[in-house]
Amino acid sequence: MTTQATEDEGLHNKTSRSSGALLLEVQGLVRDFDSLRALDGADLSVREGTITGLIGPNGAGKTTLFNVVTGFHLAQAGRVIFNGKDITNLPPHRVFQHGLCRTFQIPREHQSLSVLENLMLIPPGQQGERLFNTWFRPGAVRRQELANRDKALEVLEFVELDHLHDEYARNLSGGQKKLLELARTLMTDPQLVLLDEPGAGVNPTLMHRLTDNIRYLNRERGITFLVIEHDMDLIMSLCDPVVVMSEGRQLMTGSPEEVRRNPRVLEAYLGGQYAAVEG
């Protein structure tokens, strides 16, 4: 492919991404923890088909934003609109049912279960959860379990953890647990995945695998991503657009190059006004 063709393709991709439908819209979120205002009228939008980055100094409110959007914390003001529906303050399982999934800074695997079992727990509406079905419809329960197992093995193969499917999840390395977190989200066929510091504690080899997976899922399966990450090289190479938060609200949104050149972003990172309370 010629250089000009590559540039044209990149321009086409950026244009199509910037014109995607609005998938997530955060409007004026407020959240206090005692005397600390973690979110102070936070706004954010994510368009369908993008890998959107979310950056900011420690204490800017990024993880709190994730927690409010996904129902782990309640908003005290503001709204969360996902796919045209108001999901503000829905409990996490209801947010999950809408096709919005998230991972955590510290993976939350079921340590006493195998890698495969961790994935098979995820699909909603499992018939085996009802006593009636286990007694009177065992065939249907068994067929669904086999289908879930086949899908789980396919997902594990995709993230290259299939050789560890019988291993206890607690025995995985930090990077492997991050891959398992991503694999668990894929069991739901999500529209939007919120990734909270996927690169933290991950060695370069596994990080390369993880970012390749994210790009593939975005490009080939149409999954949209919103990514919190402190590794600026990773954000700048993976994400477009990039949203910058400061003091509980949005500071700016732009391309990686625009963010890199913005003096307000530099001031927010180097101004020294942040305590390392929450990332």
Quick: pLDDT tens for 249-272: 999 999 999 998 899 898 887 654
Strands 22-33 and 36-47: antiparallel
Strands 77-82 and 22-33: antiparallel
Domain end marker among 171, 188, 221:
171
Burial of residue 183, with CB atoms counted within 10 A of its CB: 0-12 exposed, 13-18 middle, 19 or more buried: buried
Q: What's the structural domain count of the chain?
A: 2
Q: Are residues 78 and 166 in the same domain?
A: no
Report whether 242 contacts 221 (CB < 8 A).
no
Task: Give the pLDDT score at 277.
Answer: 37
Domain end marker among 154, 171, 188:
171
Please indicate, yes or no, if residue 75 is contained in any of the structural domains. Answer: yes
Q: Are residues 65 and 101 in the same domain?
A: yes
Q: Are residues 130 and 47 in the same domain?
A: no
Q: Are residues 253 and 127 in the same domain?
A: no
Please indicate, yes or no, if residue 214 is contained in any of the structural domains. Answer: yes
Q: Are residues 97 and 120 in the same domain?
A: no
Domain assignment of residue 152, given as a range:
113-171
Q: Are residues 127 and 233 in the same domain?
A: no
Q: Give the span between the Cα atoms of 26 and 46, in whole angstroms.
A: 9
The pTM of the whole model exceeds 0.85: no
Q: Are residues 128 and 203 in the same domain?
A: no
Q: What is the pLDDT along the chain (279 residues), one digit of tens a residue?
A: 443 443 343 433 443 445 589 999 999 999 999 999 999 999 999 999 999 999 999 899 999 999 999 999 999 999 999 999 999 999 999 999 899 999 887 778 888 899 999 998 877 665 555 666 666 667 776 777 888 888 999 989 988 899 999 999 999 988 899 889 888 888 888 999 999 988 887 788 888 888 998 999 999 999 999 999 888 888 999 999 999 999 999 999 999 999 988 998 988 876 544 333 344
Q: Give the span between the Cα atoms of 240 and 256, in whole angstroms.
A: 6
Q: Are residues 89 and 51 in the same domain?
A: yes
Q: Are residues 53 and 93 in the same domain?
A: yes
Please indicate, yes or no, if residue 67 is contained in any of the structural domains. Answer: yes
Distances in Å between the Cα of 111 and the Cα atoms of 60, 151, 182 are 31, 21, 16
